[in-house]
Every structure is written in structure tokens, then in C-alpha cells.
Amino acid sequence: MTVHSIDWDEELPTTPAEEFQALIRALRRTQGFGIIFVRCNDADEETLIRSVKENLPQKTIDQLQLTADSTNFYEAVENLPNREQINILFVRGLKHSLYAYEQTKRVLGWTDSEIHSYSWKGVPKILANLNQQRDRLRNNFNICFVFLLPLFAIKYLIHRAPDFYDWRSGIFEFPMEKEAIDREFDRVFQEGSYDDYLAWTDTQRCRKLAEIQDLLAEPHLSLDWKAVLLFELADLAYAASENTTALSNLDEALKLKPNTPKAWYNKGITLYELERYEEAIDSYDKALAIKPDKDKAWYNRGNALRDLERYEEAIDSYDKALAVNIGNDAAWNNRGNVLRNLERYEEAIDSYDKALAIKPDKDKAWYNKACCYSQWNRPDKAIESLQHAIELNPEYREMAKTDSEFNNIRSHDRFKALIEEDSDQSEAIE
């Protein structure tokens, strides 16, 4: 049984056609056991296998399809009915066993801090099996195994199955042609939106992340599309509450397309979540310099200014948001909160009323209105507003029990009766 090695001193192929011919030469001269890794996207796998069969008619060529449930590679090969006749076996689908593992994130460049919320689940069983059964594969199968893998899976093997990876007799890369890149870009970009990402599992997000990373590595990918994919990576990271990663992806995208208002806006939101309010304001300003009529950017800018206790500036931002969209009930509500902090109670009540005229069931506005009336020492109005809030959301009853905003009216009989009403009902039921 001969293990044939590739001469790494040979000049590396520069085109897919030359790479293919190099692969054919390697397969032709490999007799018996061998391991070859081929970087190849899903869409091109069938074409590649067919082309190899056409160029090597003297070889018996078959394929093995692995799934996410595959755990024992050796047994999968052993159970092939014609394994004694096979010279070359294309192995497809190994990547599916990797998507479920959070450690994939580390292989793709995530730091410890970025994956702190994900548990360690060890090495996928199929990789452990490859490491453990390496000698048995060599001793018992006169087969050249050709693993068809995306880039992330090859990186994963290097890190998590080094014993097996080191036995390779060749590694070949087939960058996608422009038409293939166009198809893959459309597929990856159209699959899922930010709202979808919020509901996705870690495995689903990890699969999409890996697909985007592979596409970003394609040398023929345009800079515009690279920026779009980086924006998509940021959405994936933000949906998973990985704000530092989202920020890094946005920064990379903005280097390529600095005049993208949505990216500056999303960067502002991400910085706000990281409590970097001054930087968030700067990002919102950049978004607004390009698109001054984006009311949500004015609104979120106001929120950052509010948290910096720059209240007058916050009111100005809310006013600009409302000048663009007078129906922004959140802006009216938060404007009321800032006015309340400035003890401009009458103006605050007017803002809450504007919010409630747009959205009468906005429980948060009713509760804030109750707090405002309490601070203004208007107990009847405060209790009436609080009752509306509780009817819409009973959780406000518990909040009011300890909220210092109601200290002015805490001894009022009607207030005490309102916040203790649930307790009285529970006792009656017992």
C-alpha cells in the first residue's frame, strides 16, 4: 500500500483549470490509501465529481454523503457495499457535523470574550472518530479519500483534528467563478433577515456565519458585495447579542462603503448597547449627515443624550425625530421622560398624551404619566394613570410598590388600595 505525497515545491496553480489538472495528477498517481482535502462549494461538488470520473475512467469512483447525525466515519466506509472495488471516495457533508458546535466560532476567529455565553461541547464525535481510526483507515482501506469541504471546515480540521489533517497527501482550492459567486451571494443574502436571526438557533446562525465567511474568502468577490456580507455578519452577531463582534464587522464594512447611512445607524445602536454613548452619538451624526430624514436615528440619538443627562440636547433630537415623523410614539414618550427629569411636568404630560393619542394601549406611557403626576403632586391623576397602566400590564403593580417615583403619594389610601389589590384578591380566593 503506497501513500503518495504531493510535491509542495511545484509551482502552485493560478486558475481553477490548472488546479483541477493538479488534482487529477494527484489522484492518478495515488495508489491505495490517501487523504486529500478539496475546498469546494456545494454548487460545484457534483460537477467536480463528474469531471474527475470523466478524466479518470480507469478508476472506480464513488461518493459518501455524511449528515449531521454521522458519528462513525470508519463504519460508514466499512458498510459501503462496493468498498473493495473503490479507488477514490469523495466524502461530502462533513461540515454538517460541525455546525452544531459553538467551538466553530473560535475557528472562525471569535475571541474568548465573544463566545463567553456559549458552552464548550467538545469535539464533534465524527472528528474524534477520524483521529482515533486514522491507522485503521490506512491499514484496512485501499481507498483515496477526497474530502469536499468549505473553507471553515478545513480550518476546523486543522484546529480540532490535527492528527488526521496532518496525514493529508494534498489540499486543493477551487475559488468560485463569477457566475457561481453571483448564485451563492444571492442564496446566502436572501436566506434570513435580522428578524429571522433573532429566532434562529445557535446552529443556524453558525451555519450562516460559516457560509458568509467562506464567500468573503473568494478572491473574485466584489468590494460592494463584501461590504454587504459584512453588514449581514454584523446583523447575525447583534441578533446573538455579540455586540463587540457586530461592531468589528460594521467597522470593516464601513471601510469599504463609508457612505452607508444604515451601517452608521446600526453602529450607533451597537455602541449604545455597549454603553459607549458619545461614540454612539457620533455614529448617529454620520448617518444623519447622509440621511437627515431618518427619524429613528434622531430618536436613538436623543436616547444616548438622555443617558448622558444632556437633557436639552436630547429634547432637540426628539423634536427633530418628530418633525420627520410626528407619529413616533416612542419619541413622544421619551421626550416626556426627559421633560419630567427637568421637572417640566406640564410639558411632560403633554408629550405622554401625544404618545397615547397615537397608541392608546402604550402601557409604558401610562406608567410614566403616573410617575410624572406623582412627582407633580397630583395624586388623583397619578392613581388614575397608574390604574390604566396596570390594566394593560399587571407587572406595573409590583413595580409601583417599590418605585421611588411614587413616594409623594405612597400614603394615599387609593394608591395603597390599588397596589395591594392583587394580594386582597389572592386572599379571597384562598
> What residue segments make up the domains of the chain, in order of their start?
16-174, 179-361
CA–CA distance from 130 to each of 2, 57, 91, 104, 137 (Å)?
A: 20, 29, 13, 17, 9
CB-CB contact of 210 with 102 (8 Å): no
User: How many Cβ atoms sit within 10 Å of the Cβ of residue 154?
Assistant: 20
State the Cα torsion 106-199-240-308 to the nearest 10°: 180
User: If 0-12 CB within 10 Å is exposed, 13-18 middle and 19+ buried, where does residue 240 land?
Assistant: buried
CA-based nearest residue to 372, from 397, 399, 398, 344: 344
pLDDT at 109: 55
CB-CB contact of 120 with 102 (8 Å): yes
CA-based nearest residue to 300, from 14, 288, 126: 288
Domain 16-174 CATH class label: alpha beta
CB-CB contact of 370 with 383 (8 Å): yes
pLDDT tens for each residue of the chain, 430 residues long = 333 333 434 444 457 788 899 999 999 999 999 999 998 877 789 999 999 999 999 999 999 999 878 889 999 999 999 999 999 999 998 888 777 554 455 445 555 554 444 333 456 788 888 888 889 999 999 999 999 998 878 887 887 788 888 888 888 988 777 777 777 788 887 888 888 888 888 778 877 887 888 788 777 788 998 999 999 999 998 988 889 989 999 999 999 999 999 999 999 999 999 999 999 999 999 999 999 999 999 999 999 999 999 999 999 999 999 999 999 999 999 999 999 999 999 999 999 999 999 999 999 999 999 999 999 999 999 999 999 999 999 999 999 999 999 999 999 999 999 998 654 443 333 3
> What's the rounded Cα separation, in Å, for the pair 297 and 404?
31
DSSP three-state, residue 62? strand
What is residue 15's DSSP assignment? Answer: S
Query: Which three cell numbers, joined as nine digits, stand for 359?
Result: 397608541
Unique residue bearing C-alpha cell 473493495: 84
Specify the pTM: 0.72
pLDDT at 318: 98
DSSP three-state, residue 223? helix
Strand order from edge to edge, sheet including 61-65: 61-65, 88-92, 144-149, 34-39, 170-173
Backbone φ, ψ for residue 332 (5° rounding): -60, -45
Query: Which three cell numbers, joined as nine digits, stand for 134?
Result: 486514522
CA-based nearest residue to 293, from 321, 315, 274: 321
Q: Which H or E run contains 171?
A: strand 170-173
Domain 179-361 has CATH 1.25.40.10: yes
Write 176-185 long-range contacts (CB < 8 A, 24+).
176/41, 176/44, 176/218, 176/220, 177/16, 177/220, 178/220, 180/41, 180/43, 180/44, 181/215, 181/218, 181/220, 181/221, 181/225, 183/43, 184/41, 184/43, 184/215, 185/215, 185/221, 185/225, 185/229
Instruction: Collect all residues with Cβ–Cβ distance below 8 Å to 40 and sequence separation of at least 6.
Output: 48, 148, 149, 150, 174
> What's the rounded Cα separation, in Å, for the pair 309 and 342?
10
pLDDT at 7: 42
